[in-house]
Structure 1
Amino acid sequence: MDKKSWFGKSNKSASALLENDWRSIKWGEEDKIRKDLKEMKVRNPEVQHLRILVHGPVGAGKSSFINSIDSIFQERMTSKAIAQTATERSCTKIFKVHGIRDGKTREFLPFSLCDIMGLEKGPTEGLHPDDLIKILKGQIKDGHKFNPVSSCSETEENFVSRPTLSEEIHCLLSVIPADVIGLMKDEDFTKMRQIKDQANDMGIPQLAMLTKVELACPEVLKDLKVVYKSKKIKEKMQECSNSLGVPMNCIFPVKNYHEEIDLNTDVNALLLSALTRILDFANDYVEDKKPPAPANRKSSSDEQHKSRLYPDLTH
């Protein structure tokens, strides 16, 4: 039996936590962060909504993340995306672009979360690799039904031959379950790295989200605010970084809503903190795609004046 410390915690609990948070979270400021995200401006006039593609293995929490974000902005529990139960098959069969509304004004916010099939076991199971590339490029329309055997062809009505920047993906978010990351096979990470490499070749930023942190660490289950003190969660994040090839500062541990019926401020704060960074990366991407401003063309009279003053430089 663990001996109790002077502070009423067991030595075992104390040893599971670092003395200080190694990342800062603005606990209790969810209203301000939510307001900031509602008022966020996309830094490219060609794009109305930043598109975030959420992908990962079956049951990782992709759809639950989408539902959790939608619930925060609706300020009530919602279920836009069908969440996965205990099965090895993906519930998501179509490419779905989920617009997020302001719960009060009912207007769409300047970002969308895109849902696709979960990565299934076997090289020929789940989403066709070519379809994923086409989604990154914006060549597949919202609502397209996936076929694991054949990719969406150029003759299909859901194929976009000349996509705009608005239809492209602006950030790739890989979702990994913290509680079972050590049990995931190399095959799973190989598929995810291949997707990440495709996004990297296109210049699309890639981030990772570590879900189910409350199941990976008993201390976090008791108090979500110790997530950045938990040695176990930091170890899981490092494992994710090593396996997926994503730097630590691009990995965000979160807890999705799953069995709750009411919103929780701590859950919201952690999710909104991650979402803020994700949208920052996406906004940087579209800003870099902004066409350069036309250079001011000098008038012919200016050129003539220059030739008179500096005749040697104009010949």
Structure 2
Amino acid sequence: MSSAASQLDLEREKQLLKLFTQPVKLGLLYKGSIHGYKYNTLLNKFNEEGKCVIILYLVSGAVRGIYVNEKLSTGSQGSTDKGAFLFDVSKQGAAKYPVLDPSKAFACNYGNKGIALSTLQFGSAIELDAKDIRIVNFCSSDIIYTSTGWPTENTRTCEVELHRVQDVGHLIPDWRHLSWTVCERDSILEDILSFKSVGDALPRVRALLLGPAGAGKSSFIVSARSVMNKRVVHLPIVGKAINGFTKKLKTYEIGTRKGGAPTVLTLCDAMAVGHSDSPGLSLSDALAVIKGHVPEGYKFNFYTPISEKVTGHRTAPSLKEQVHCVLFVLNASELESYSSSLLSTLRELHSEISDLGIPQLILLTHIDKVCHAVHEDVKFVYSSRTLQETMEKAAELVHMPVSSVLPIKNYASEHAVNCNMDILILDAICHVLQAIDDMLEDQHPEDVHMVKEEPLRPL
């Protein structure tokens, strides 16, 4: 079927896929204008499949059809299918009419002695004519399906398609729990807003983003700000370059909308981590940033390591000038292609940072590119076996525990914020603040005291 393309446009396909309780994708098996509008051709392909949909494109522009969950068995008594349903789909939405009498969900009716074919029918709601399957009878008085609102007259279609329905994502029971609701999003946001520091020792906390080029470090900053602003913001810090787009050390406060209460978090963006094939941020320069020696706006130079000769170099940085958490940003779709030299650098960084007693987490980006279910909706992230295995791989690459891996999808092509994407991003920010809080309580109990109007939820 590589030469044939479905007539179903993207918007209608999205609406149709929403009718299924689990993530699925469609695979075109038959198209009347390609294979001919012959009953036997459609029937043979239909009978080979278990889960499939027949899509009927009416001359009027309407799109209707039927989903079946079982293989066809011939005979006028019909075939049993508890999962069958009719549908009527448009760009704005889709209507679903589940079967009322599963024992008569669909049937292939024959004439005398099984020779003269009559119809392929689904209750009385849809009947495809054996001589020309473009002739379709829609009946709204059918008692097998709840087909209220369907036209009653015989209708000629301009196209007929058969699609295989495939499960995607290899879903498993949730192994981490998040509630995918607007209330949950607002609750996590309130936790973050209520997280405050007091005293001059540490007015704000700083998290440094480290990772290879293209992993999504700058995009995470844009995404965090987008969540807080409740709209996708546009900052000139995101771009594409072989060795990474960011060349300077830049800090970004993560505040809320104009006039709103700011958060205590500052995100620090730096040059991409280098490896043998691509010069970039060196181990020594990364450690200099983490220890607080490097001034804001410093332009990194792979061939000239940071030293005390750098203008603005801090010889004895204060606690508030240091980095309080390091986030390794990794691209979920490129883990297998990371070079051994890059992995060696990341692992060495992890070891050196551990010696400094600074918490470390992994931001796993582009999760929608490794699992179709997650591509359709990020709420499946913790019920996707593929993502679970990818998170384990990411943890293994940096020699860190799986509990430190935070999967997210950055805002890239979207023009508006999405509740479920927001929840993942906010949950990651919440983990960052909790990790910093734990570190400060353990290492600086007398120098700084972090207080919250309401305590952060257990993570």
How high is the TM-score relative to the length of structure 2? 0.60
The 1:66–1:180 alpha-carbon spacing in structure 2 relative to 1, beyond 3 Å, is same
* Corresponding position of 1:266: 420
The 1:227–1:253 alpha-carbon spacing in structure 2 relative to 1, beyond 3 Å, is same
* Corresponding position of 1:66: 221
Assess if the C-alpha contact under 8 Å between 2:226 and 2:232 holds in 1.
Answer: yes
SS in 2 for 1:109: coil
* Corresponding position of 1:301: none
**Cα deviation 1:191-216 (Å, max 9, x = unaligned):** 11111111101000111011111111
Greater C-alpha radius of gyration: 2
Summarize the alignment of residues 116-195 of structure 1 with structure 2, pairs less than 5 Å apart: 116-122=270-276, 125-195=279-349
* Corresponding position of 2:208: 53
Are residues 1:22 and 2:175 paired? Answer: yes
User: What is the percent sequence identity of the aligned residues?
Assistant: 30
Query: What letter matches 1:154 in structure 2?
Result: E
The 1:12–1:235 alpha-carbon spacing in structure 2 relative to 1, beyond 3 Å, is farther
**Cα deviation 1:199-250 (Å, max 9, x = unaligned):** 1010001110111111111111112111111111011011111111110111
Higher relative contact order (CA 8 A, sep 6+): 1
| Aligned residue-pair number | 291
Are residues 1:3 and 2:157 paired? Answer: no
Assess if the C-alpha contact under 8 Å between 1:119 and 1:127 holds in 2.
Answer: yes
Assess if the C-alpha contact under 8 Å between 2:180 and 2:420 holds in 1.
Answer: yes
Assess if the C-alpha contact under 8 Å between 1:124 and 1:148 holds in 2.
Answer: no
Name the CA distance, whole Å, in 2 between partners of 1:81 and 1:138.
25
**Cα deviation 1:63-100 (Å, max 9, x = unaligned):** 11111001111222223462232x42211010111112
Q: Structure 2: which 5+ runs fail to align?
A: 1-26, 28-48, 52-68, 70-81, 85-163, 448-459
Assess if the C-alpha contact under 8 Å between 1:211 and 1:253 holds in 2.
Answer: yes
Q: Structure 1: which 5+ runs fail to align?
A: 294-315
Name the CA distance, whole Å, in 2 between partners of 1:134 and 1:89.
20
The 1:79–1:289 alpha-carbon spacing in structure 2 relative to 1, beyond 3 Å, is farther
* Corresponding position of 1:84: 239
Give 1 or 2: higher helix fraction.
Answer: 1
- Of 230, 233, 250 in structure 2, the residue corresponding to residue 75 of structure 1 is 230
1:121 Cα shift?
3.8
Name the CA distance, whole Å, in 2 between partners of 1:51 and 1:146.
19
SS in 1 for 2:327: strand
- Of 219, 231, 242 in structure 1, the residue corresponding to residue 373 of structure 2 is 219
Name the CA distance, whole Å, in 1 between partners of 2:441 and 2:277.
36
Q: CA RMSD in A?
A: 2.3
1:152 Cα shift?
2.0
**Cα deviation 1:125-178 (Å, max 9, x = unaligned):** 111322111111111111111111112221222211110111111111101111
Assess if the C-alpha contact under 8 Å between 1:43 and 1:286 holds in 2.
Answer: no
**Cα deviation 1:267-306 (Å, max 9, x = unaligned):** 000111111111100122223333549xxxxxxxxxxxxx
SS in 2 for 1:30: helix
SS in 1 for 2:363: strand
Assess if the C-alpha contact under 8 Å between 1:137 and 1:168 holds in 2.
Answer: yes
The 1:253–1:177 alpha-carbon spacing in structure 2 relative to 1, beyond 3 Å, is same
How high is the TM-score relative to the length of structure 1? 0.86
Name the CA distance, whole Å, in 2 between partners of 1:44 and 1:195.
31
1:111 Cα shift?
0.8
1:123 Cα shift?
7.0
* Corresponding position of 1:110: 264
